[in-house]
Amino acid sequence: MESPFPGMDPYLEAPSLWPDVHSSIMHAIRDQLQPRISPDYVAAVTPYITFEAIDIAASRVVAPDIAVLQRDLREWREPGEASVALLEASLTAAAVIEVEITYHRIEIRTVGNETLVTAIEVLSPVNKRLAPGAFEAYDRKRQEMFASSAHLVEIDLLRGGTRPPVAAELPSEPYFVFLSRVERRPILEIWPISLRTPIPPVPIPLRRPDADVVLDLNRALRQIYQSARYDLRIDYRRPPPLPTLPAAELAWLDAHLRETGKR
């Protein structure tokens, strides 16, 4: 069963589906590119680690330890003295703690010396969080890539969160692909992606003088939709996941799903 949408399916953005979609699309991209870049290059889904300052929610505090501490404070006294009533704190707040975060991306490297040639990021909610300090962790890694001798491709198939910053106002399309070529920096090539049209082919640069290879992102999405049977987990009678689409897009989506028999 195929997705009813010509390109990106907004229902794949659902929090219950996206982790599997994210993993599947990265492996589908790798599998599509590998035959096209052999034998001089290899593509791999690769983890990398960054440190990010996050707010630790109150629900993550170990409650038994707090209870012991509070009891001990209420009963605190110096030896030989009467108990002293302590004023309880009037405020509580979560600490901002730096934690280790593991991301994954597709890396294209040369065969032999393993030099990084191109990094392909499929953005996830953790890359795009609006919380203070959250996006900065990803952007620091992004700036490191801009200072390197490797190309960077960013695929943003999520409508929510922070877009990768650019020095221009982006159009209102829901999805984007950004390409930073080493030889053209700081210029970015940008592909806005509409909900109503197929995703255009994306060039993936290699080392000169080798020509770009073409990534058919639409094909990769169709492939994972069918192999994972996402149709069995999506109820197209319901509104798409947040954020809410503009009124014109919602009207188009409703008409399109009715035309395709999903509503």
Give residue limits of the domains in the chain: 10-69+91-259
Strands 189-193 and 96-110, bridge-based pairing: unpaired
Residue 135 CA: distances (Å) to CA of 19, 54, 126, 197, 246: 18, 11, 8, 29, 25
Q: Where on the phi/psi map is residue 114: left (φ > 0), alpha (ψ -120 to 50), or beta?
A: left
Q: How far apart, in whole angstroms, are the C-alpha atoms of residue 19 and residue 23? A: 6
What's residue 83's pLDDT?
A: 61
Chain mean position to CA 97: 22
- Categorize the per-residue pLDDT at 137 as very low, low, confident or very high, splitting at 50, 70 and 90: confident
Beta bridge partners of 226: none
What's residue 232's pLDDT?
A: 97
Q: Which residue has the higher pLDDT, 136 or 106?
A: 106
Beta bridge partners of 42: 109
Q: How far apart, in whole angstroms, are the C-alpha atoms of residue 173 and residue 194? A: 5
What's residue 152's pLDDT?
A: 98
Q: How far apart, in whole angstroms, are the C-alpha atoms of residue 73 and residue 75? A: 5
DSSP state, residue 121: E
What's residue 138's pLDDT?
A: 80
Q: Are 218 and 207 in contact (CB under 8 A)?
A: no
Give the residue carrying structure tokens 């999520």: 158
Which amino acid, 169?
A: E
Calculate what percentage of the chain has a pLDDT beyond 70: 80
**Helix H segments across the chain?**
18-37, 63-74, 125-128, 134-146, 217-228, 247-259
CA proximity to 186, closest of 145, 128, 135: 145
Give the residue carrying structure tokens 């191109």: 118
What's residue 245's pLDDT?
A: 96
Q: Range with the lowest mean pLDDT among 18-22, 35-39, 77-81, 150-154?
A: 77-81
